[in-house]
Each structure stands twice: as structure tokens, then as C-alpha cells.
Amino acid sequence: MKRFSRIIVTGTPGTGKTSVGGLVAKELGLPFVEANAIVRKEKLWARKPEVNLAKLRKRLSREWGVIEGHLLCEFSIPGAVVLVLRCNPRVLEKRLAKRNYSRRKLKTNLEAEAIDYCMQRAEQEYGPSRIIQVDCTRLDEKACAKRCLRVLAGKREQDCPDFSGWLYGPNV
């Protein structure tokens, strides 16, 4: 397997970043870093609830291992390969509903997933060659982590899901 010292796990809320990232870190024997925990602990707010992305980038640039967070597609961290976890909006809606998201927040996140927001931002920030897309729609966290590890090892092609059709269905 290729050796990575810094793996970013990002994606829309509810795609499995924390669970999958933790399993990938454990399997690779790397530290696991949750960006949201650092934001809360070190109070990296621009104004609550908005995160100061410049401060977060600077802080996370000192970390290594598997670094997880949905905001990590918004800026580049040097030397990182990026796993963008994806999930069909129909499945994602059920996951996010369990978190009691407001209707507005739920719709915003589902639309972000349908238009590949995190994927597109990650490509802009890191460049397409450093991005790996993994569809976790039909996988539990262990199977998704295993798929991520296989793609990282070059033993499986990355996924290229297209959920844009969701935008034209009865969901909007």
C-alpha cells in the first residue's frame, strides 16, 4: 500500500466521515483528528456558528494522520490525499432526519450532495489528482472503510456517483 502521512476525509454531513475516517486511521495505524473537535476546543470561530477557515487551515496544517471534517473541502492542507465520501440524497435524508436537522438545513445538505459540492470544492482546492471519491450509499461503515483502503492501495477504482437526478425528482 502507498504510504500516506495525511489523509483528509470530507463530504456532506451524514456520509460517514467520522466513522469511516476512524476505521481507516485505525487500520493504517495513523492518528485520527476530528476538525469539529478542534474548532470547539480551540474556539476557532469567525462568529458563532461560523468557523474561521483561515485559522482552522493553519491549525490543521500542523496535524498528520487521518483528518476528518466536512469543511476540509473548503481549503487545501499541504501533502494530503482526499477521500470524498458520497451518499445518495434519498439515503442521506434518512440519516440526517435522525439528527433532527431543520427542514432548511436538511434541504441545503441534500442539494449540496446532489450537485457534488464537496467533490467540486475539493478538486478546486487540492487538484483532481489528489481526490478519491467513494460512494458509501449501500455500505455500512466497515465496508466503506474497506473500500476506501482498497482505493488508497490502488486495488480498486474510485467511485463516480452522479446524484444530480435527485434534483429533478419530487424531493425538491
What is the per-residue pLDDT for 3? 76
Helix 35-42 and helix 53-60, axial crossing angle in degrees, nearest 10: 110
What is the per-residue pLDDT for 126? 97
DSSP 163: -
3-state helix, strand, coil in the chain (%, to 5): 50, 15, 35
Q: What is the mean pLDDT of each run of 10 residues along the chain (172 residues)?
A: 86 98 97 97 91 97 97 96 97 95 95 97 97 97 98 95 90 52
What is the per-residue pLDDT for 170? 67
What is the per-residue pLDDT for 52? 96
Give backbone dihedrals phi and psi of 43, rounded to 5 degrees, phi first: 55, 55
What is the per-residue pLDDT for 171? 55
Is the distance from CB of 66 to CB of 31 less than 8 angstroms? yes
Grid cell 444530480 is found at: 164
Q: Record the cell numbers describing residue 144, joined without a space.
A: 466503506
What is the per-residue pLDDT for 169? 77
What is the per-residue pLDDT for 83? 98
Is the distance from CB of 67 to CB of 6 less than 8 angstroms? yes
pTM for the structure as a whole? 0.95
